[in-house]
Amino acid sequence: MSPVRGIVLLTCAAFAAVASGQYTDTECWVGTGVGQSLNKTWSWSLQWENRWTQGASWHEQGLVDVALEYRMNKHWDLNVQYRFAERQQFDGGYAARRRIALRAVGRWKTGRGKWTTRIMTSENWAARPWFSGALPEGQVAPSMPTVRSRVAYGHRVTNRLDAELSWEVFHRQGGRWSERWQVSLGTKLSKQWDLELAYLWGNQWLDPDPWRSHVLRIQTSYSLRNAERPFKRIPSTLVYSAGKRSAIKGACPVCTSDQVRITEIHAKGIPADYIEVQNNSNAICSLKGWRITDDLTADGWVLPEGCLAPGAVLLGYEKGRGGFLFGLSTSGEVLFLLDPEGNVKRQIQVLPSTENRAQGIGKMGDWSFVEPSPGEVQTSN
């Protein structure tokens, strides 16, 4: 059974297993956001979303989220989020609320899939609406603490399409419990723009008047360039062979682990960090499905599809078109070369950087410091 079919069947089984609510609503949520990595540890994001209920005909609320995230290690992140929301009342006015949330997010890579878990606690309270006067004197709305736990499994369907199934449980003040199932498809529209389409199903427990909800959610997000690096014109990913350079293209058999290798990297390259990959064989082969990463929980650089001639090299730059998004550490790290099935086939120990020196396969065939020669075919090694 394929992973996608398993996700669909599991979702249907979950829906059938829970009791029907007395009230069912159909909703539509539309949002967009922007985010940026400040460095390898810190990042921030800003998100906006509008939500319509009652058959997607009633504007229920609009909200803005601002979040700051800290990367603890390769598996866990800590996140603090501030939300300002205005919810429409039945008389047509809006009531504003604020929320502070603390979240711990864990991620584990499994082949072409990834498990994600999130534990979240939040407090929200009444606030002054943006376009109205102050709250009446003496009016105090109680805080509404909520604890949420979420588990999700995502699977890479193609190089540009991801599918995910998640289940989340909510515990609110007063002993109220609810759950939310979500099935989503995400794709990269470009290097910066992402699009996600999702179906959410909500259900309330232990309530004399429970509800259910069906939600269509549409989200876009834009990733700003890394704040650590000034703007530069970064070269596109190209193939170098027999003194010529060209875009990678064509269809041919996929490279085996004996054919593909990393031949040179530079953590202080000009105009940006670069990685060079070579077809180290006498037969033409394709890099389709191969990827390089410095973190096995992340996809890293999915090498562009196309054929490499015998001895030819593929040269990709950080943030360049068709290149990789992660930076190479000047203090040293490990790079992994993975085959299309997600198996680690090469492991390169990147050494702490030395001024004006790249790292690659030297004349004796060992990994060492070398003169920078991006795109030059090393036939003698």
How confident is the model over 118-136, as pLDDT tens digits? 999 988 777 655 544 454 4
DSSP state of 143: P
Q: Is the pTM of this model over 0.85?
A: no
pLDDT of residue 1: 56
Provide the pLDDT confidence category of residue 228 given band limits of 50, 70 and 90: low
Provide the pLDDT confidence category of residue 92 given band limits of 50, 70 and 90: confident
pLDDT of residue 334: 92
pLDDT of residue 80: 96
From CA 52, how far away is CA 230, in angstroms rounded? Answer: 40
Of 320 and 199, the structure prediction assigns the larger pLDDT to 199
Provide the pLDDT confidence category of residue 144 given band limits of 50, 70 and 90: low
Give the domain ranges of the chain.
3-223, 238-370
From CA 201, how far away is CA 301, in angstroms rounded? Answer: 34
Of 100 and 362, the structure prediction assigns the larger pLDDT to 100
- Do 3-223 and 238-370 share a fold? no
pLDDT of residue 155: 92
- 57-71 mean pLDDT: 94
Report whether pLDDT(174) > 80.
no
From CA 361, how far away is CA 335, in angstroms rounded? Answer: 14
pLDDT > 70 in the chain, percent: 86
Of 275 and 320, the structure prediction assigns the larger pLDDT to 275
Of 127 and 286, the structure prediction assigns the larger pLDDT to 286
Long-range contacts of 180-186 (CB under 8 A, 24+ apart): 181/11, 181/14, 181/15, 182/152, 182/217, 183/7, 183/8, 183/11, 184/217, 185/161, 186/161, 186/162
From CA 335, how far away is CA 347, in angstroms rounded? Answer: 6
Provide the pLDDT confidence category of residue 316 given band limits of 50, 70 and 90: very high
* Residue range 3-223 in CATH 3.30.70.3400: no
- Beta pairing partners, 122: 101, 146
Q: Tabulate helix, strand, coil % of the chain (nearest 5).
A: 5, 55, 40
Question: Residue 106 corresponds to which tokens in the numbers above?
Answer: 């864990």
Provide the pLDDT confidence category of residue 40 given band limits of 50, 70 and 90: confident
From CA 359, how far away is CA 361, in angstroms rounded? Answer: 7
Report whether pLDDT(17) > 60.
no
- 25-33 mean pLDDT: 95
Rg (alpha carbons) of the chain, rounded to whole number? 25
From CA 122, how far away is CA 101, in angstroms rounded? Answer: 4
- 279-290 mean pLDDT: 92
**CA atoms within a 13 Å half-sphere pointing along the CA-CB vector of 256:** 4
pLDDT of residue 160: 80
* Residue range 238-370 in CATH 3.40.50.150: no
Q: Contact at 8 Å (CB) between 4 and 183?
A: no
Q: Is 1 helix (H, G, I), strand (E, B) or coil?
A: coil
pLDDT > 90 in the chain, percent: 46
Q: Contact at 8 Å (CB) between 291 and 318?
A: no
Lowest mean pLDDT among 103-117, 224-238, 362-376: 224-238
From CA 371, how far away is CA 355, in angstroms rounded? Answer: 11
Best CA proximity match to 254, nearest among 288, 305, 282, 278: 288
From CA 130, how far away is CA 115, in angstroms rounded? Answer: 39
Question: Residue 137 corresponds to which tokens in the numbers above?
Answer: 């004197």
Chain mean pLDDT for the chain: 85
DSSP state of 185: E
pLDDT of residue 306: 87
pLDDT of residue 15: 45
- 191-213 mean pLDDT: 87
pLDDT of residue 303: 92
Strand segments, DSSP code E, in 267-362 are 274-279, 285-286, 291-293, 301-302, 307-308, 313-317, 333-338, 344-350, 358-361
In angstroms, the Cα distances linking 269 to 135, 304, 317 are 58, 21, 9
From CA 130, how far away is CA 64, in angstroms rounded? Answer: 12
pLDDT of residue 100: 93
**CA atoms within a 13 Å half-sphere pointing along the CA-CB vector of 56:** 9
pLDDT of residue 193: 92
- 312-332 mean pLDDT: 89
Best CA proximity match to 109, nearest among 258, 296, 270: 296
